[in-house]
Structures are given as structure tokens and as C-alpha cells.
Amino acid sequence: MVKRVYIASSEADAMNTLTLKILFLIGFVSAFAIRSPYQRENKKNTVSVDRKTAQEKILLVLVFIGMVILPLIYVFSPWLRVADYNPVPWVGYLGVLCFGISLWLFWRSHDDLGRNWSPTLEIREGHTLISNGVYQTIRHPMYTAIWLWCAAQALLLPNWIAGLAGLISFAALYIFRIGNEEQMMLEQFGEEYKAYMQRTKRLIPYLF
Ligand code: SAH
């Protein structure tokens, strides 16, 4: 006799944890692949203004733990299992959508900034103010991309620690950095940056 197994349609639709982990890893590796050529170029820059404080360095380490170390521990080991919860069916699709938009914006913002990009707060010799491309309507498209990446991490990893660590650590860096970055840009570019601030929003076009 053939035994039939009926799976409730919502269960069949639901992305299982392994699928979610794989989707997360694809996004994660793609983000590093997008960044790596710009990271190489950045090494050739001569820095003329360096605003990297001890606080900024500590926050960058926290972000590395929250967005790299903890997710990888979750994906490749059972150590964070105590904080697992059952994935919610549709949430995985939303995670993929967030990561997709994030990666596109991450790529466009790196491409528009070019040699002006740096992982910390600094101005290079020959720095120019970019206000075209994805910088036309928002001043911090790369941070928008990173917020979306962190949201995708929370949506794709059904684990309270590994899922939320990105959002929490990046929120801390963003809150401490954003005012300092705009202040640095104002000191460097003066009226030009002031006018740019007046016609743009920080993260979401026309809204915020
Ligand atoms: N906040 C921007 C850039 C992040 S990279 C974004 O989210 O898209 C951080 C560095 O980019 C800063 O050290 C600063 O030197 C540089 N930067 C930020 N905005 C810039 C702009 N509009 N034009 C040129 N360089 C910029």
C-alpha cells in the first residue's frame, strides 16, 4: 500500500531554515563581492582628514560581530540554538526582497562614490562631493542599503541573537556616526553640502 503524506499548503510554502540560511549566505557573500574592488581602490587613497575616533573603532568591531561573526556562527554551528524560533512562512520572502533591494543600492552607492568611499569617517586627497546617481535624492544610500541588509538578516535568520544582532549593532554605529559624518562634510564642502542637505533626505527619498 502506498502511504501518502499530506503536507498543509502553508507548511509546503514555508521556507525551511536551511533554505533561509542558504538565501542569507548568497546575499552576504554578494555584498562582500560588491565591496571588495572598492576596498582595494580605497587602499591607494591618501587620507587628508581622519575622523576615526576610539568610539567609532569600537562600534565598527561591534558591527563586525553583529553582521558577520554571529550570523556565521548561527549558520555553521549549533551554538546559538537556544535562541532559535520557528520561521514564519511569508517572512522569508520579505527577507529576500529586502536583501535584493539592499544589494542593488549597495552596488550603486559604491559605484557612484568611487574613490570617495571609505569604511570610516575620512576625507581623501582630491575628495569630491557626489550628488548624482543614487545620491541625487538621499545623502546616505549606502546606509539605507546596510539598514535593509540588517532587516534581511533579521527576516532570514529565525534566531533572536543572530537575527537581531545586525540591526542593533548597526543602529548604534549609525546613531553615533551620522551627525559626525554630516559635520565633517559640511566643514569640507561648506555651502555646497549645505545646499545638498536642503534638497535631499538622509535615507528614504522625499520622506526621511
Ligand atoms: N554616508 C554615505 C557614504 C558612506 S561611506 C552613504 O551612506 O552613502 C563614508 C564616507 O563617504 C565618508 O567618510 C565620507 O568621506 C564619504 N561621503 C559621504 N557622503 C559623500 C558624498 N555625498 N560625496 C562624497 N563623499 C561622501
| Domain 48-198, second-level architecture | Up-down Bundle (1.20)
Q: What is the pLDDT of residue 144?
A: 98
Q: What is the pLDDT of residue 15?
A: 72
Å from CA of 117 to ligand 1 middle: 6
Å from CA of 57 to ligand 1 middle: 17
pLDDT per 10-residue tile (average), the chain, 208 residues: 49 73 98 96 92 94 98 97 92 96 98 95 96 98 98 98 98 97 97 98 97
109 CB less than 6 Å from ligand 1?
yes
Å from CA of 203 to ligand 1 middle: 13
Q: Which atom of ligand 1 is nearest to the CA of 122?
A: 13
SS3 203: coil
Q: How far apart are CA 185 and CA 129, in angstroms?
A: 8
Q: How far apart are CA 173 and CA 59, in angstroms?
A: 6
Q: What is the pLDDT of residue 89?
A: 84
122-124/47-50 β-pairing? antiparallel
- pTM of structure: 0.93
129 CB less than 6 Å from ligand 1?
yes
Q: Output the nine-digit C-alpha cell for 122.
A: 575620512
Q: What is the pLDDT of residue 10?
A: 46
Q: What is the pLDDT of residue 2?
A: 52
Q: Which atom of ligand 1 is nearest to the CA of 141?
A: 8
DSSP 138: B
Q: Which atom of ligand 1 is nearest to the CA of 120?
A: 13
**Domains of the chain by residue range:** 48-198
21 CB less than 6 Å from ligand 1?
no
Q: Rounded to the nearest 10 degrees, what angle do helices 141-156 and 91-113 cross at?
A: 160
| Half-sphere exposure at residue 28, Cβ-oriented, CA atoms within 13 angstroms | 21
143 CB less than 6 Å from ligand 1?
yes
CB atoms within 10 A of CB 3: 4
